[in-house]
Every structure is written in structure tokens, then in C-alpha cells.
């Protein structure tokens, strides 16, 4: 009885060994692969067990649900034709990753001599793209106390970039209250959208500004641009306006006096030559026109 039980266990064990030994089983070291653009990346397709000597290996790329061949009949084809290599045992090496390589990849191995003759493994590849130089908008000059928004954006980066602002090469903290230097500044920063908004801009906010776009693949910045903050000096402006008004009054009074001194000559030339002809020429026009019209109509009759 005891021997019989042992025999059953042994037979079961052997069956298990047999199935594993005659089955193709694949494994990968990473199912969620991230790569940087223009860098090499290897998608691993390791064969855990196989009995067939020359298994058929295929790689497919699945983008937006549409599969296409990447490795087929022992050749790299499609997008990866010049950039792909198959490495032992069935790994796919991309020599120079491109943003268009982001997709699902399926490694398929068919081993006809095995009991379980087929296995496949799915790997997702995401290619990070470094940001390009962002477009920055910084106003040249603003009035103290006004609301001012500086903007920064770029749209190449993957994953999307985050933005950092710098003033005179010093990074602005996201929250001004956390820094002694920026404590009095009224800005609100949005690192996702690249907006830097001063609710009431101060003299101390003036400086050379630039912005940097950053993601896991790298950073890029725009060139720095100056922002000037000037006082709208009410007293100064009032004094200037007053000065101009006084000057105008003096000039007017002066002109009147000159006009009064040469009263006769001025009136004769000014009034009779300027105003009267304009009026009478209008009258002349009308009467001349009427005469012309009458003449015409009488001619027709």
C-alpha cells in the first residue's frame, strides 16, 4: 500500500516534469519599459524552457490596436528595419529609439516539437521625449501694483514638461513665502501650465526672467528677457501736466497781446480772407450748379 502511494506520487511528479520540459515558456525582465528618445533600448523575451531546436520567433508591434511585423521570417522589418536587432535568445534591441516606437510589442515563440508549442509575451514601450526650448512671454515694462502674467510653454515633451521660472539665474520657489528673498513677492506659479502671475507687481520683482521646461528625458530653456517695473509717479505727472498748462496759458496770453497790438492788419487779413470766402464759395457753388442745370434743361427742351 505504502509503495503504491509512493508510486502514484512519483508518476504525477514525472508527468509534471514531462509537461514543463516539453513546453515553451517565455518570460521578460520588464513588461513596462521606458526609454529615452535617441538612446538604445532592449525588450527582453527570455525562453524559460523549450525542447524544439529551431523555434519560430516573431515580434509584432501593436499601435492603436493595429498589429504590424517587426521581426518576421528571421528579418527585422517595418519601422525598425534599420534600427532593430534580434539578440539571443529572442530579445529585440532598438539601437536608436524614436518617439514613434511608443507602442505594445508582442514576442511570439512557436516550438513545434513541444507538447505546449506556443507562448507569447506582451511588453509596453513608452519613449520619453526631451522638451524643446519653450516659448516665453515676459512683458518689457509694467507699472508698480498692476497684475502681470509671464507665460512659458512647449509641446514636444513626453511625458509633458514641468516649468520652472528663474529671475537673474535664481530659481523662484513654487511658494514665495518659503524663501526669505521672495517673501514679499505676490506671485502664483503653476508648474504644469508655465504661468507666473504677479497679483500686484513690486519694484523688487524687476529683473531678467527665463523659464526652463523639464521632464525625465531632459531640460530646455528660453533666453532670458528683462522685465522693468516703474512707478506711476502721480505727483510728478501732476507737476508736469501743470507745467505744460502754465506754458500753454503763457503762450496764449502772449499771442493775444501780439494780436491786439497789430489789431487792424490781423483782422483785415484774417477774417475777410479766411472766413468769408469759405462761405461765399459755398454759395457760388450752389448757384453756379443751379445755373448750369437750368441751362442744361432748357437746352434739352
DSSP secondary-structure letter at 287? Answer: H
Number of residues that bind ligand NAG (CB under 6 A): 8
The three-point CA angle 29-35-40 to 5° equals 90
| Nearest CB to ligand NAG, comparing residues 204 and 290 | 204
The vertex-156 CA angle with 153 and 78, nearest 5°, equals 175
Cell (9 digits) for 181 = 528673498
Task: Give the range of 24-32, 156-164, 179-187, 224-232 binding ligand NAG by CB under 6 A.
Answer: 179-187
Give the range of 170-178, 181-189, 193-201, 215-223 binding ligand NAG by CB under 6 A: 181-189
Select from 7, 20, 184, 280 the one that contacts ligand NAG (CB under 6 A).
184
Binding mask 98-137 for ligand NAG (x = CB under 6 A): x---------------------------------------
Of residues 189-248, those binding ligand NAG (CB under 6 A): 204
User: Which of 92/107 has CB closer to ligand NAG?
Assistant: 92
Stretch of residues binding ligand NAG (CB under 6 A), selected from 41-49, 152-160, 178-186, 260-268: 178-186
For ligand NAG, the closer of residues 121 and 128 by Cβ is 128
Nearest CA to 92 out of 40, 163, 159 is that of: 40
Residues 210 and 172: their CA atoms lie apart, in Å, by 10
Contact residue for ligand NAG among 13, 18, 183, 230 (CB under 6 A) = 183
38 binds ligand NAG (CB under 6 A): yes
Least Å from the CB of residue 191 to ligand NAG: 23
- The Cα 224–Cα 164 span in angstroms is 13
Task: Give exposure, 43-54, as e/b (b: 16+ Cβ within 10 Å).
Answer: bbbebebbeeee
Closer to ligand NAG by CB, 97 or 227: give it. 97
CA-CA distance, 278 to 268, in Å (whole number)? Answer: 15
User: Is the CB of 56 or the CB of 202 nearer to ligand NAG?
Assistant: 202
Give the torsion sign (CA, 221, 222, 226, 232): negative
Q: What DSSP designation does 113 have? A: T
Tell me the three cell numbers of residue 28.
521578460
Distance CA(6)–CA(120), nearest Å, equals 36
Which residues here bind ligand NAG, judged by CB under 6 A?
38, 96, 98, 180-181, 183-184, 204
Amino acid at each position: 500500500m505504502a509503495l503504491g502511494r509512493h508510486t502514484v506520487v512519483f508518476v504525477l511528479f514525472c508527468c509534471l516534469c514531462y509537461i514543463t520540459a516539453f513546453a515553451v515558456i517565455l518570460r521578460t525582465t520588464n513588461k513596462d519599459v521606458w526609454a529615452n528618445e535617441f538612446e538604445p533600448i532592449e525588450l527582453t523575451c527570455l525562453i524559460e524552457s523549450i525542447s524544439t531546436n529551431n523555434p519560430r520567433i516573431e515580434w509584432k508591434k501593436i499601435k492603436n490596436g493595429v498589429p504590424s511585423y517587426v521581426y518576421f521570417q528571421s528579418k527585422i522589418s517595418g519601422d525598425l528595419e534599420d534600427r532593430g536587432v534580434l539578440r539571443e535568445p529572442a530579445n529585440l534591441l532598438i539601437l536608436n529609439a524614436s518617439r514613434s516606437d511608443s507602442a505594445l510589442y508582442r514576442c511570439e515563440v512557436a516550438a513545434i516539437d513541444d507538447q505546449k508549442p506556443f507562448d507569447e509575451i506582451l511588453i509596453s514601450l513608452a519613449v520619453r521625449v526631451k522638451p524643446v526650448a519653450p516659448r516665453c512671454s515676459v512683458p518689457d515694462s509694467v507699472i508698480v501694483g498692476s497684475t502681470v502674467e509671464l507665460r512659458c510653454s512647449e509641446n514636444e515633451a513626453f511625458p509633458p514638461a514641468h516649468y520652472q521660472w528663474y529671475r537673474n539665474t535664481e530659481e523662484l520657489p513654487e511658494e514665495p513665502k518659503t524663501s526669505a528673498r521672495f517673501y514679499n513677492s505676490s506671485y502664483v506659479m503653476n508648474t504644469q501650465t508655465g504661468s507666473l502671475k504677479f497679483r500686484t507687481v513690486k519694484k523688487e520683482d524687476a529683473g531678467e526672467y527665463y523659464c526652463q521646461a523639464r521632464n525625465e528625458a531632459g531640460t530646455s530653456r528660453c533666453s532670458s528677457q528683462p522685465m522693468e517695473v516703474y512707478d506711476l509717479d502721480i505727483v510728478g505727472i501732476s507737476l508736469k501736466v501743470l507745467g505744460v498748462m502754465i506754458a500753454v496759458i503763457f503762450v496764449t496770453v502772449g499771442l493775444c497781446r501780439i494780436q491786439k497790438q497789430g489789431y487792424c492788419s490781423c483782422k483785415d487779413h484774417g477774417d475777410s480772407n479766411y472766413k468769408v470766402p469759405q462761405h461765399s464759395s459755398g454759395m457760388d457753388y450752389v448757384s453756379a450748379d443751379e445755373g448750369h442745370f437750368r441751362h442744361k434743361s432748357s437746352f434739352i427742351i
